[in-house]
Chains A and B, each alone.
Chain A
Amino acid sequence: MSAPDSFADFVHGRYAALVRHGILLTGDHGHGEDLAQETLVKTHRAWSRLHPGGDPDAYTRRVMVRAAWRAGRRLWHREVPTEVLPEHKTTDPYEPRDTSRLVLSALRALPAQQRVVLVLRYWAGLSEQEIAGMLGCSAGTVKSRASRAITALRRADGPLAEAFEKSSI
């Protein structure tokens, strides 16, 4: 199967950013990259509608978010990230630093829906109404999921407790 040059350019230009978005939405490097690739398959299918004149980046991110949200409502995950990363040495140049490891661990510990809302609200900077529209739920649901996520992250025995304590928030 071949791809239009414009789609190849899009993938090469946006892939790294989409993977980072996927990592936050899933809390896991491998699953984040898998989510980005799965979503790009859908973007590829819709490419004739998205280019030119559309916004393939926004479309792709929206599909990623909805997939991550639905993953939280499904009970038949093929595979689930572990709570704690296995101990291993690596020479991977992209191996995350300690802060990254802690934050991703904390994100993984959240239910998927809370994680998705947290990322959209505090990282993507969307309003509660915008998130509700994107996810097809009520703004009250967004508010309660975000609130629960923050509470969980600030838990005294959680991996980010120290970070929150230092920042005195």
Chain B
Amino acid sequence: MTERIRALLDAAIAEVGPRNPDPLPDVLRRAGARRRHLAVAGAAAAAAVAVLAAGGVVAANHGMPDKAPASQPSATPTGEKEELTRVDATVADGFVRTGGLAVPIPQGWQVIQDKKLDFCDIPAKSVLINVMQIPGGNCDLHPQLAVYKWAPTGFSAQVSALGVVSEVILPGGQPVWLDDNELDHLRSVRKKKTGNPFSGAQPFLPWASVRLSVDGQQSQIDSVLRGISADPVTPARLTLPEPSAAIQLNLGHKKQLTSTDQAVIGQVLKLLTELDRPVRSDELPCAGAEQVTDTWRLAGTEMAGLIFTDAKGWNASGMVTISTGDTCAFATSSLGGRVHLPAGFLARVKQLLGGR
């Protein structure tokens, strides 16, 4: 199969070539334009950082886990780089505990912490916490579970990469966010129903500030996902970031609305603040919700992501996921809180941002 695919790819480009016979002038023109653009953007970025440094999360933390999501991005990232990437976790009684979350350590697996290792030197069946993996080498893939720091704060590209989000609610209330690729993968695995292929799963848990990366036979992955539990969280209204310089609303593949109009941003925040019906722990998922693993059912599918960023969209300070339908609709803030939505809520947000 490899040779056949390679032959097809070779054939695709065998007789095509550049349309521009002399690209150098164009490349140099672009380089000059980029240099001028960077000079302007640099000045704007300095101003944005100054604004962020003066701000902070303002709203109260309504019933969040003790080890709540990350603090605001630092205006001096170098000094706090380690804090931004380091998982604050403890290992005890067969679980990795972090941010109110308990991730099971599969039987017979070993925990490795605070190391820098070549990929091929990492033993099979390892649980990695604060381990820097150096890629490369020639070795087989092996089962492993890695716990990475993740929160929708900091570089917004990382947050936007989620796109639309599907949400699973763990017993106790913590959200699990799945991007579309992950959901697609879980669905395809579930459809097969046979075999035990080597696979991977990467769920995001914003309230615990972690992303899990589980590689292994599907049965091993199922076992880990099935065993994840979380401390109960008190139902609460949305915790929101301070008014930001810009907001982005991700509505699906290639569809995004943005605004830097402070009046619009204020109105959107007001709409969110006024949502006063916290979701109780037994209300979701609604009847008929899709089962994506043995134990996970989707409470929300392909939810729009509302991201609060600086003016250039470089730094995010929080994200709210919003149901795209009116049935059983709810919103979840990365900073905490989950509320029911009135009918037509997303349409109103879209309208404010100039969409239809």
Report the minimal beta-carbon distance from B137 to chain A, rounded to whole angstroms.
6
Tell me which of B22, B137, B161, B199 contacts A144 (CB under 8 A).
B199
A129 contacts B185, CB within 8 Å? no
Is the Cβ of A100 less than 8 Å from the Cβ of B16?
Answer: yes
Work out how many contacts link A and B, with CB atoms closer than 8 A: 174
- 6 A-B pairs whose Cβ atoms sit less than 8 Å apart in the complex: A97-B11, A100-B13, A100-B14, A127-B138, A138-B146, A143-B198
* B203 interfacial by beta-carbon distance below 8 Å: no
Q: Is residue A38 within 8 Å, beta carbon to beta carbon, of the partner chain?
A: yes
Chain B 181-192, CB-CB to A under 8 Å as 1, else 0, gives 100110010000
A103 touches B181 (CB 8 A): no
Contacting A16 at CB < 8 Å: which of B17, B30, B184?
Answer: B17
Contact with A along B139-152 (1 / 0, CB 8 A): 10100001000000
Find chain B residues with CB under 8 A from A38 CB: 30
* Residue of B whose beta carbon sits closest to that of A15: B23
Q: Is the CB of B31 within 8 A of A41?
A: yes
* Cβ of B50 to closest chain A Cβ, rounded Å: 25
Chain A proximity mask over B155-166: 1 for CB below 8 Å, otherwise 0: 001001101000
Within 8 A of B (CB), among A76-119: 76-77, 80, 92, 94, 96-97, 99-100, 103-104, 107, 111, 113, 118-119
Determine whether the beta carbon of B215 is less than 8 Å from that of A23. Answer: no
Q: Which of A36-57 contact B (CB under 8 A)?
A: 36-38, 40-41, 44-45
Report A19 CB to chain B, min CB distance, Å: 5
Instruction: Tell me whether B108 is interfacial, beta carbon within 8 Å.
Output: no
Residues on A with C-beta less than 8 A from B215 are 138-140
A37-B30, A41-B27 given; A123·B6 CB < 8 A = yes
Taking a contact as CB atoms closer than 8 A, the residue among A33, A118, A138, A145 that contacts B5 in the complex is: A118
Residue of B nearest to A113 (CB): B181
Q: Is the CB of A75 within 8 A of B160?
A: yes
Q: Is A128's CB under 8 angstroms from B141's CB?
A: yes
Chain B residues lying within 8 Å of A75, measured Cβ to Cβ, are 160, 163, 250, 252-256
B residues near A70, Cβ cutoff 8 Å: 157
CB neighbours of B16 from chain A (8 A) = 20, 23, 29, 94, 96, 100
Does A161 make an interface contact (CB < 8 A)?
A: no
Quick check: is A73 within 8 A (CB to CB) of the other chain?
A: yes
Interface size class of B (residues with CB under 8 A): 35 or more
- Say yes or no: B157 contacts A74, CB within 8 Å: yes
**Do A33 and B18 contact each other (CB < 8 Å), given the known contacts A41-B34, A144-B185?**
yes
B144 CB, nearest partner CB in chain A, Å: 9
Kindly state whether residue A148 has any CB partner on chain B within 8 Å. yes
* A104-B12 in contact (CB<8A): yes
Chain B residue at minimal CB-CB distance from A166: B4
A58 CB within 8 Å of chain B: no
B residues less than 8 Å from A11 (CB atoms): 23-24, 27
Q: Does A133 contact B (CB under 8 A)?
A: yes
Chain B residues whose C-beta falls within 8 Å of the C-beta of A94 in the assembled complex: 15-17, 19
7 smallest beta-carbon distances between A and B, as pairs: A140-B200, A133-B135, A140-B215, A103-B12, A73-B161, A20-B13, A122-B5
User: Bound complex: CA of A13 vs CA of B250, how far in Å?
Assistant: 41
User: When chains A and B are docked, how far (Å) is the Cα of A19 from the Cα of B26?
Assistant: 14
Is residue B10 contacting chain A, with contact meaning CB distance below 8 A? yes
Q: A44 near B28 (CB under 8 angstroms)?
A: yes
Which of A41, A80, A128 has the most C-beta atoms of chain B within 10 angstroms of its own C-beta?
A41
In whole angstroms, what is the CA distance A150 to B5 when docked?
Answer: 9
**Is A24 at the interface (CB under 8 A from chain B)?**
yes
Q: Does B32 contact A (CB under 8 A)?
A: yes
Q: Which of A1, A2, A103, A169 contacts B11 (CB 8 A)?
A: A103
Tell whether A132 is near chain B: CB-to-CB under 8 Å.
Answer: yes
Interface string of A143-168 (1 = CB under 8 A from B): 11100101001000000100110010
Q: In the bound complex, how far is the Cα of B181 from the Cα of A148, in angstroms?
A: 10
Residues of chain A within 8 A of B13, CB atoms compared: 20, 23-24, 100
CA distance A3 to B163 in the complex (A): 40
For the complex formed, measure the closest distance between the CB of B77 and the CB atoms of chain A, giving whole angstroms: 18
- Assess whether B54 is interfacial by the CB under 8 Å rule: no
